[in-house]
Structure 1
Amino acid sequence: MRTWWPLVAICLGTFMFLLDTTVLNVALPDIGTDLNAPLSGLQWVLNIYTLALAVLTLPFGSLADRFGARNVYVAGLTVFALASLTCALAPNTGLLIASRAVQGIGGAAMSVSTFALIGAVYRGPDRAQAMGVFGAVTGLGAAVGPMLGGVLTECLSWRAAFFLNLPLVAGTVALTLRVLGNDRRPEAHRIDLPGTAVFALCTGALVYGLTRAGEDGWTPTVYALIALAAAALVLFVVVERRCVQPMLDVRLFGRASFAAVMVCVLASAAAFAALLFTSVWLQSDLGLGPVRAGLALMPLALASFATSLIAGRTLHGTSPRLIVGTGLLLSGIGCALQSGLDAHSTASSVALGLAVTGIGVGMMGPAMAGAVFAAVPAERSGMAAGAMTTFRQLGPTLGIAVFGVLFRTGSGAAPVEGLNRVYVAAAAVGVIGAALAYTFVRKPAPVPTAPVRREVSTAASGVNSTQR
């Protein structure tokens, strides 16, 4: 049993930073009332956290190589705890958003260290079993978030969700230092600071511009921000192509299979991005409290959790093209089933759609890594995994910003009208992503076991003949 304590330490941190991506979904209306914040401000409470995760995942991977995954993991936990404390005590939206950004920095350090720690501790069948448990914990973090956020908000306060992190971090740090070793590689390459800065400018300008578009309309400022994001994207490509050790080799996007998988990763986040606006409708239109709103969202999270457990075992060896494509298609169908709401709709009106979406999301999780690795050469697998993690965090951020424009545009006094537009858009994203997956995602190359056996047999025959 002692050999599994390192996995407990790793999973505790993973559970916390994933929990904080969803725990506030049902708490946002209470936060808005308490801090007198508009919806655009509330979006940034969520967006800034996932944006920090997306921007810093790749650079923190270099830090983990140089200074050791355990040290980076512990540092991330410490920053996460301190930021959680300032979030819990924040007297206004500005400080809450800033604290969430710092919390995202800690979360990025935690997230990028976990795979390295599992790989360093476990080998062979133990590693496969550890990754299975790790995947289940990942699904559990998403499943528990809305419900836990609702219970804490209704029974205590939205601030309790942040206070809860403090004892959990303290226990995780103590356990980590006791059971995990550290592996430093001083020769590892340095952080690509120019690439990181330009990528942050691109994503920040794009998300901020879309958020302002939803609040103020398509003003000259919004167009300027979108143009700045486009210019920064071009500059990022130039910088990365000239960098000796880039954080992301942009030439990988010249492979249709890799580019399609990255789009699929972004598309897989559409359903979760729509949850924010579903929560707003449940509480503002239907008058549900945080706990009942959390319960109403549970079909998606529970279906995703259960499906990921089953798919990881029963679909092993199935082509990622089929699994990812079908998962995205089911996600899109589920979002379509949630549309068509009107003034007489209730929470049960979206239950079936949420469950179908959850099944699709649960299918994709275990297969996405296989799809990424099949799309790139073996020597680029580490960079491809980092890109997948970055796009997975960027997806909800962009989704919330884009869907925010649809949710508010022309919705008048009925949020349900905007919510229907969000569902239709999310359904379209799922269907388009499925088409790309079915068309471009590659199957893993078969292992050439038979030719190797024949070659060895021939060589052995030659040796025996010489000896005779």
Structure 2
Amino acid sequence: MTASQPSAYESASVRWLTLISICVATFLMPLNMSSVNVALPAIAADLSADAVLVSWIPTMNLLGAIALQLPAGRIADMIGRKRVFLSGLLLFTLSSLAVIIIDSIGWLLLVRLLQGISGAMIFGTGMAIVSQVFANHGRGMALGLTSTSVYLGLTCGPPIGGWLTEWWDWHAVFLAPLPLAIICALLVWRHVHETERQADERLDWIGSLLFIAASSLFFVGLAELPTINGGLLALCGLLLLAGFVYQQEHSPHPLIRLRRMVQNKIFFRSIQACFFMYAANYPLQFLLSLYLQYIRGLSPAEAGQLMLLQAMMMALLAPFAGRLSDHFEPRIPATLGCLMFAAGFLILAMLDQDSGNMHVIIALLVMGTGFGLFSSPNNNSALSAVPTEKLSIGSSLLNISRTLGNMLGMAVVVFLFNIMLGNERITPEQYPALMNLLKLAFVLCCGYALMAGWRSWSRGKVR
């Protein structure tokens, strides 16, 4: 469903300035994420962190994003998307500044948790704002450009993170994006118009707390498997999640009516496809960073420059794919993208310690093309099936499927590290075990991508 365009956005110049404001922020979040991944070996050495604690650095970012995603979207629909968006930018800025005084891995993990929460606030409102502003003016193309800003952040992150780590130290990776965050806040404050408050709506505090507790316990439990404590935490998380589902069906002001979401075939299968694709994609940079720097012996800058190829292809293709989805069935380019992404993981699964750079380059180009074809059409399909007054919660659900996928993909990787490497620092003696772990992870990610292709095609026709 699409509602009429707000009068404030009838002007093309206002629409594009609004889009630029959102794109700056959606560039900033993945820039921070991907640049930190390249700095992981340097962080491990400086803070004396073992392999499992290092794997928690990207994982804590996911934990913060998943726990606050639904409440943030609901609050944005109630009090205004602009307010929540700017609050997320402020939290990101303050948490990034905190690295100046950090001297232990524990405090760094707390910073990553706060940055994940800020990402939930930004991504939970950003796509909703763009979708509303461009509802009658090429929504697919606008969402494609928003996706491009994400991929540009992923593209610039690895080389910037590598250069900053080599020339200064890992602290600079957190501090460098702050000027951009300030510019973004000014652009949003100046050009984005606030949505109307919904005076008759209330935040479901019980549901919010249930969801935060359920997602956090399940996430931490998965990461701690196969220990007994990990199994108990995951089980408690599942029980609380069941309680959340029951409570939402009986709450007068629920975060989401799950039954209605499942009945919306196009939206539900779009978020399922998103879930599996991001489960495959999120661990990729982490795994390749370890392969290129530990096994191949590349510097952080060299590894970052090589890894940017995938995101570069994604950035180039996302607007084109979004434009296609404005005129043709979104499931066609989206499903083709899933299959290409799976093929890229099969290529990576054939890596060994003596593989050349060209092997990695071919895989990354294929995967970048695949994800570029998938993302914008899938987002356009999902948000086209959501009423305008529910765009923030729809955007949050789309992002929560992405984050849940990220969580699953990274939790499985952390589980593999616990089983195959343990609480030891990565040394040359462990390189054969690390190589086996990487191959297994790539095969699992290929399976996730194939599942995404199945759900993408089965959503049916949008038009």
Give the shorter-chain TM-score range. 0.7 to 0.9
Paired residue for 2:187? Answer: 175
* In structure 1, distance between residues paired with 2:142 and 2:268: 29
| Alpha-carbon distance change, 262 to 111 in structure 1, aligned in 2, over 3 angstroms | closer
Paired residue for 2:9? Answer: none
CA deviation string 1:361-387 (max 9, x = no partner): 111111112432577789876644331
1:253 pairs with 2:262: yes
| Alpha-carbon distance change, 196 to 296 in structure 1, aligned in 2, over 3 angstroms | same
| Alpha-carbon distance change, 404 to 348 in structure 1, aligned in 2, over 3 angstroms | farther
Aligned AA for 1:204? S
1:443 pairs with 2:461: yes
Shift of residue 171, structure 1, vs aligned partner: 2.5
* In structure 2, distance between residues paired with 1:408 and 1:256: 38
Shift of residue 323, structure 1, vs aligned partner: 2.4
* TM-score normalised by the chain length of structure 1: 0.86
* In structure 1, distance between residues paired with 2:18 and 2:440: 45
1:94 pairs with 2:106: yes
* In structure 2, distance between residues paired with 1:146 and 1:329: 25
| Alpha-carbon distance change, 109 to 378 in structure 1, aligned in 2, over 3 angstroms | closer
- Alpha carbons 1:274, 1:400 under 8 Å: kept: no
Paired residue for 2:427? Answer: none
| Alpha-carbon distance change, 394 to 30 in structure 1, aligned in 2, over 3 angstroms | same
* In structure 1, distance between residues paired with 2:162 and 2:440: 26
CA deviation string 1:76-107 (max 9, x = no partner): 21111000111343211111111121122222
* In structure 2, distance between residues paired with 1:116 and 1:268: 21
Aligned AA for 1:236? F
Shift of residue 162, structure 1, vs aligned partner: 1.3
Paired residue for 1:42? Answer: 54
Shift of residue 31, structure 1, vs aligned partner: 0.7
Query: Mapping of 1:32-431 within 5 angstroms?
Result: 32-118=44-130, 124-125=136-137, 130-187=142-199, 189-213=201-225, 218-251=226-259, 252-253=261-262, 258-269=267-278, 270-373=280-383, 383-407=393-417, 409-410=419-420, 412-414=430-432, 415-431=434-450
* In structure 2, distance between residues paired with 1:7 and 1:258: 23
Aligned sequence identity (%): 27
* In structure 2, distance between residues paired with 1:81 and 1:381: 26
Of residues 275-284 and 319-328 in structure 1, the stretch that sits farther from structure 2 once superposed is 319-328
CA deviation string 1:263-288 (max 9, x = no partner): 21111111232221111111111111
* TM-score normalised by the chain length of structure 2: 0.87
Paired residue for 1:466? Answer: none
Unaligned runs of 5+ in 1: 447-468
Aligned AA for 2:460? R
- Choose between structure 1 and 2 for higher RCO, CA contacts under 8 A separated by at least 6 residues: 2
- Alpha carbons 1:65, 1:188 under 8 Å: kept: no
CA deviation string 1:136-189 (max 9, x = no partner): 212211221222211211122111121113222222323333334434415152
Aligned AA for 1:12? V
Paired residue for 2:6? Answer: none
| Alpha-carbon distance change, 262 to 301 in structure 1, aligned in 2, over 3 angstroms | same
* In structure 2, distance between residues paired with 1:116 and 1:263: 19
Aligned AA for 2:194? N
Aligned AA for 1:432? M
Paired residue for 2:424? Answer: none
Aligned AA for 1:398? L
| Alpha-carbon distance change, 420 to 241 in structure 1, aligned in 2, over 3 angstroms | same
* In structure 2, distance between residues paired with 1:369 and 1:19: 21
SS in 2 for 1:23: helix
SS in 2 for 1:52: helix
| Alpha-carbon distance change, 255 to 226 in structure 1, aligned in 2, over 3 angstroms | same
Shift of residue 51, structure 1, vs aligned partner: 2.4
